[in-house]
Amino acid sequence: MQPAEIAFEVRIRGPAITRAIAEEALTLTMVGESRADSAYAHEREALRLFREGAAPEHWRIWSAERNLAFIAAARGQVAEGLALLDSSVTAASAGLGGAEQAGYLTAQRIPFLLRLGRLSDAAHSITEAERRLGASSSVTRAHRADVNRYAAMIDLALGDVSHAVDRLRMAVSLSETPGESAATPGINSCLLGVALTRVGRREEARPLLETPCAAYTAHGLPDALILQWIAEARN
């Protein structure tokens, strides 16, 4: 149905933004099916159309750049992905709610920097991200959970595993509140299992390396570094 919608918009010469939204909807489906190459092609076209049809500061442009960045990294194009994400940070900084949006996007640089071996840059990025986010009540629990996870990834890369455990417990408490049906244990619990394994608490880590890690790796475009850490923890 989604390719048919794109074809229809092209046939009737629909507005660029409408066509871009249709392309991005198909991108998300391709990501869910772990089809990185197809997702990359459709998100790149979505970005082109957003740039054609929207004002330069429109949030859909920096959002598409961010999406394309993660897809590029999943295809092994980590440096290209980081460049796209940096462009997204710059664009978001100029828009409404710029400090908070840019802060969250800055935190999202961490997986790229770690894969490129730029640990000091990663540490600087998380400091800058948390400074920009501050204590604002408009930052969601899910976003704060993500920021704690990114900080924990730096700790894991640096060998500060105890601190990583603390950060990941915070991420789990923010994102996986008991009783909330939408809060399925996933990447935060999975990485907590990785961290606990590294401090020798294998019995506590084992269930976290099973269902939560399986939930993370079963769909989408998992981060290559996290996949490596999971494999090492399971061995």
CATH number at residue 68: 1.25.40
Q: Domain check: are 14 and 126 in the same one?
A: no
Please state, for a pLDDT cut of 90, what percent of the chain lies above it. 80
Q: Domain check: are 77 and 104 in the same one?
A: no
- Choose the final residue of a domain: 59, 86, 113: 86
Q: Domain check: are 52 and 105 in the same one?
A: no
Q: Domain check: are 126 and 66 in the same one?
A: no
Q: What is the pLDDT of residue 94?
A: 84
pLDDT digits (tens, 9 = 90+) for 90-135: 999 887 667 889 999 999 999 999 999 999 999 999 999 999 998 8
Q: Domain check: are 103 and 172 in the same one?
A: yes
pLDDT digits (tens, 9 = 90+) for 136-170: 888 999 999 999 999 999 999 999 999 999 999 99
**Mean of per-residue pLDDT scores for the chain:** 93
61 Cβ neighbours under 8 A, 6+ residues apart: 47, 50, 51, 54, 91
Domain that holds residue 140: 97-235
Q: What is the pLDDT of residue 12?
A: 85
pTM of the predicted protein model: 0.90
pLDDT digits (tens, 9 = 90+) for 164-207: 999 999 999 999 765 554 456 799 999 999 999 999 999 999 99
Distance of CA 214 to the CA centre of its chain: 18
- Lowest average pLDDT, out of 6-15, 22-31, 168-177, 211-220, goes to 6-15
Q: What is the pLDDT of residue 181?
A: 45
Q: What is the pLDDT of residue 96?
A: 64
Q: Domain check: are 134 and 226 in the same one?
A: yes
Q: What is the pLDDT of residue 182?
A: 47
Report which DSSP code applies to 83: H
Q: Domain check: are 29 and 54 in the same one?
A: yes
Residue 92 lies in a domain: no
CB-based contact 65:50 (threshold 8 Å)? no
What integer is the mean pLDDT of 55-62? 91
What torsion, rounded to 10 degrees, do the Cα atoms 220, 221, 225, 227 define?
40
Q: Domain check: are 139 and 182 in the same one?
A: yes
Q: Domain check: are 136 and 36 in the same one?
A: no
What's the total number of domains in the chain?
Answer: 2
Q: Domain check: are 170 and 198 in the same one?
A: yes
Could you give the residue ranges of the DSSP H alpha helices within the chain? 2-11, 16-32, 36-53, 59-74, 78-93, 98-107, 110-115, 119-133, 141-158, 161-175, 187-198, 202-217, 224-234
